Amino acid sequence: MKQIVLCLIGILLASFVSAQKINHPSLLYTPQRIQQVKQRMQNEPKLREAWEDIQKTADEALQKKDFNRLDYLSLAYLMTDNKEYANIIKEILLKAVEAESWGDMEMMARIPAWRSQLGMAHKSFLSAIGYDAAYNIMSSSERKKIAEGLKRLAVEPALGDWLLEPTRIHSLNSMGHNWWTSCVCQGGILALSLQNELPEVKDWVEQLHESLPEWFDFAGDALQQKAKSFDEAGGMYESLNYANFGIQEALLFRIAWINTHPGQNPGDIPQLAKLPNYFSQVCYPRTGVLHSLNFGDSHKNVSAESSMMLLYALGLKDPTILWYIAQVEQGQHRDGFFLNRPMGFLYTPDLSKAPITPDLKTSQLFSDFGWATMRTSWEKDATMLAVKSGHTWNHSHADANSFIVFHKGVDIIKDGGNCWYPNPAYRNYFFQSQAHNVVLFNGEGQPREQQYSGSTLRGNLYHLLDAGNVKYVLANGTG
């Protein structure tokens, strides 16, 4: 009897250990996604054309052994089962882990040093996708070697700098907020991919998963002039470009965590439900490329289809998301999830039921971060007024009471825009009040040091009224 009990315990323990292991691939390029897109390709010519582009890029990367195209190589392997792709992925990763460091010289020179940065985050993502895809063709020793190397080069620096004890830990108000989610979430996705070989990283992954809602909940810091990150009405103050980037990075980790923890409750992040309205309210549908508000460090061609697709994949089946994605033209900005790129190929939903116009209000106030939009309708090429009067810091320019007007498809009153950050004109002109549609006092605008120290007296927007053809908002930039 004792032997039977011990045998049963052993079987249960073995089953438990097996259940804790990840069945690769399971992060983002899952077998379910691959099967779905193959089925859709039979009826959607645009998907077939996109796949041809992706495979062409993958074949070029195959010859070049291109680390920066690991995502294309991974998708090509999972779509075709051609082990040539998998073997090159393995070869690329084995070579990559021979590096001494993935740190950035400029960041490492800081006191104390910043061991991780956005470039490392992107490498972490590519490595995770490649390791997850090619896992089953590697030997156990190859898996272990690559896993230990990637932990040293990326997982430990990214999570060690930004989340874990005992090294210096950045708080949410110590940097641009998009930076935090990029470093920890891409490091976290990489840790997820490695946990079969490195059981110690499981605790790091779970700590990140538990901490992630705090990023969305950050309420600001009065002593250090840091703004609340997310508005009660939805959305983030860091400009559309960086809001979308930071949110996208968080959602990628959340999806990967859910995919590798089947049946477990991921918990609620209430801000997610308000994001489709935010991204839509700050866009301008027009004939041609979708435009968006370019307050701060953004561009009018930047769009948020990546975050919208990930929200849809997480189960937020809001028709507004379908409408928004349908407005975006393929390739309209640098970093999009377009059909001929791996994530866009797998995560673009069926848009055949996208509404012609969204069921949204024609005016919106984001009072926490000081943006308001008012439009005549949701038809293309309508008239739209956007006003900004809020906090100044980092990617949010010194532009209290600035405004933009779109009419008949054109921004007839434009924002000053921005330029490459190392260019002295960025700090000396584009960030400052003189570059924006504001009233100066004796030729002067907001204090120039607010770019780094923040604004102690911020602008504010109040009392949005919408009476159809008459709309009103009070903008107070006197601080």
Using the 3D structure, point to which of 176, 203, 229 is the last residue of a domain.
Answer: 229
DSSP string covering 298-349:
--TT---HHHHHHHHHTT---HHHHHHHHHPPTTSSTT---TTSHHHHHHPP
124: Cβ contacts below 8 Å, ≥ 6 apart? 150, 154, 155, 158, 186, 187, 189, 190
Is the pLDDT score of 354 beyond 80? yes
Using the 3D structure, point to which of 214, 229, 244 is the last residue of a domain.
Answer: 229
Q: Tell me the average pLDDT across 80-100.
A: 99
Return mean pLDDT, the chain. 93
- For 68, the token pair is 């920066």
CA distance 350 to 393: 39
* Range of the structural domain that residue 116 is part of: 23-229
Helical spans, DSSP H, in 99-229: 105-108, 118-134, 140-150, 156-162, 177-194, 201-217
User: Could you tell me the CATH number of the domain that includes residue 161?
Assistant: 1.50.10.100
For 310-339, write each residue's pLDDT tens digit: 999 999 999 999 999 999 999 999 999 999
Give a yes or no: residue 300 inside a domain: no
Give a yes or no: residue 131 inside a domain: yes
Q: How many folded domains does the chain comprise?
A: 2
CB-neighbour burial class of residue 22 (10 A; exposed 0-12, middle 13-18, buried 19+) = middle
More confident: 111 or 249: 249
Using the 3D structure, point to which of 229, 246, 271 is the last residue of a domain.
Answer: 229
For 432-462, write each residue's pLDDT tens digit: 999 999 989 898 999 988 888 888 889 999 9
For 49-71, write each residue's pLDDT tens digit: 999 999 999 999 999 999 999 99
Give the pLDDT of residue 237.
86
Give a yes or no: residue 468 inside a domain: yes
Residue 168: CB atoms within 10 Å:
13
348: left (phi over 0), alpha (psi -120 to 50) or beta: beta
Give the pLDDT of residue 8.
43
Give a yes or no: residue 246 inside a domain: no
Q: Tell me the average pLDDT across 372-388.
A: 98
Which pTM does this prediction carry? 0.94
For 123-177, write each residue's pLDDT tens digit: 999 999 999 999 999 999 999 999 999 999 999 999 999 999 877 666 666 665 8
Give a yes or no: residue 260 inside a domain: no
For 194-230, write each residue's pLDDT tens digit: 999 999 999 999 999 999 999 999 998 888 888 889 9
Give the pLDDT of residue 416.
87
